Amino acid sequence: MRFGILAAGAVVWSLIAGAQMANAQQVFQNTITGETLDVDGTAPKEGRDTPAVKKFLETGVDAYVEVPGCLPKGEEVFLESCSGCHGHIGEGKVGPGLNDSYWTYPKNETDKGLFETIFGGANGMMGPHGQDIELDDMMKLIAWIRHIQKDDVKDAQWLTDEQKKNFKAFNIDEWEKTGRAAAAKQQCKISGN
């Protein structure tokens, strides 16, 4: 009887632990200090309850990367919050370039790492944006930064193999002529929303 109770208790415990792990949130760390970022306590309340944000908080992967309908908003956030230091198309100014294969912080090769740098800030003038950019808009911003890539993406950790096959290096003239208008006609939608 005792063994049956212990076995039942072990099963219940493993189910609880499994459920908690399935709903576990990634641990996000400051790019410079390594301190844990308080995403829940810092981020604006709006823009948290989307399928893309939920997926990102669980997996560290931005579901909006290469979703055309998300790019216009990502570009808007970039122009408002990032272009002053990183250039109109991420070519670099006071801050480093964001549209090539070199990352000042190698962790930015992953969506999670880029999020941590944007959210918590970094060295120099790169202040934290965690309190002033909604999480869903930050996902769109990261998607835009990934989209403006001009170098070969064979090593791009943020793209799936299928996305790598279909990726075209960013061309500002094409974007301004037809790309932005075509993307604006599409929805910013992933499965689940």
DSSP states along 92-125: -SSSPPSSSS--SSGGGGSHHHHHHHHHH--STT
* pLDDT above 90 coverage of the chain, percent: 77
CA distance 173 to 5: 69
**Residue 110 vs residue 3, higher pLDDT:** 110
* Cβ-based neighbour number of residue 151 at 10 Å: 13
CB contact set of 170 (below 8 Å; sequence gap of 6+): 89, 99, 147, 148, 149, 150
Looking at residue 156, its amino acid is A
31-67 residue pLDDT tens: 999 999 999 999 999 999 999 999 999 999 999 999 9
Paired with 171 in beta bridges are: none
Contacts with 29 (C-beta within 8 Å, 6 or more apart), sequence order: 35, 36, 37, 116, 120
Average pLDDT, the chain: 88
CA distances from 146 to 14, 110, 135 (A): 39, 10, 17
Tell me how far apart the alpha carbons of residues 115 and 133 are, in angstroms, rounded to a whole number. Answer: 11
Check whether 7 has a pLDDT greater than 50: no
- Low-confidence winner among 2-11, 12-21, 29-38, 167-176 (lowest mean pLDDT): 12-21
Q: How far apart are CA 2 and CA 9, in angstroms?
A: 10
In degrees to the nearest 10, what's the CA dihedral of 48, 74, 99, 120?
-30
Distance (Å, rounded) from C-alpha 99 to C-alpha 76?
Answer: 16
Distance CA 87, CA 75 (A): 12
Q: How confident is the model at residue 125 (pLDDT cuts 50, 70, 90)?
A: confident
Mean pLDDT across 76-96? 95
